[in-house]
Structure 1
């Protein structure tokens, strides 16, 4: 079931029935392409999915169609990894050599490339093992194209997720770089064109002394992450941010839509056995949901008395 996440009435826009033996990730790919085929004039800007669809090919497919994906990470298949000799945690944040998350220092909106800086320099504390001699500190970049999985609004699957490395920097499940001492780097801006984020040293930004500084620079170590590098770890909307949680909360609309069909319209009480029967009932119920929304909207705008079509609906 595909629903409009920004609809106040949780309206269905593309009901599709499949056999229960097929996996959700496979069904989504076919449904998405059907939707693009039948409604080619629609501009789909964002897709919100749960962790069952936390698959790298889905991120790549959505990135190909310039769709922002909000997918929860699946912890069973997520782990910290390395990207360009930098450890990246499950938050998509580069981790410095002492295990601290780097500081986000901006995003390129065109390329979705993020800049990350040394946490020690940004926090103004002394790192015991500096990565750079620069006063600015070490800098790192991440891009959505490098790993689309961290770029979408899709909940990560915890069974397949863990902290990993990106450009020799540890990245946690939030897509935040982690410095060598285990502290998350500080987000220091986003390039709105490239979706490239900048991360800075937490010690420098927080004005505290790092026991093992990565850089001798006063500015601290800097790191960049871009959506193109890894769409799963480095989403266009920063994973676990306030905006990301706000967007992902809209996914509950599809649950309310299905509940309305099954319970309010008594779809689950049907005794049909053929797929034709279920398809017909599902589509008729979807039409009724839209009709209900029209009537509610007309009543809200005092449009009922002047519109004969709505009056005919109310007389049924």
Structure 2
């Protein structure tokens, strides 16, 4: 477990046990260098963090850009999309999306998860390549839970036309797909009458045991 991840839960437990204790400064090594730790120490506890910069977290590193789908790209080559590596949920930290260097692969070796980097011009000294996080609650529009146009995204999104078609058929069957009225009370009456008609059709369908065309009275009575 990394120091950057254990600090917040450790401090929460400490101050629950010792609520009258107060401190002005927190002195930690570079292992505690993370945005969430700074925010928690200063904003929640009023403690000034004294933590050296971790070179791996340095903003001096070339920053990924984003393509039209909101997916971060390689800092060296914007044509290479970073790989979606799941959602990171940790107690006391913001929910984040983890992105992996496009030239790095996540593999299992000897029962352990490790990364293999195959890049001739890496932008970081990390052996696993560049890892980048986007925080969901900073920009929900850009930082989508699933990457746009990913397999998961496409599988879910392809259901949209089916839903729209179902809604269209439902509106058509009760004749509310194109109104010729402008009076809202008349429109409301039409919707109610159409719904009643549809229910009658479904009752007849159930009685006759014919379920092929439950929304079409013409085909039902033919």
Q: TM-score, normalised by structure 1?
A: 0.35
Q: TM-score, normalised by structure 2?
A: 0.48
Q: Greater CA radius of gyration, 1 or 2?
A: 2
Higher strand share: 1
Higher RCO (Cα < 8 Å, 6 or more apart): 1
Higher helix share: 2
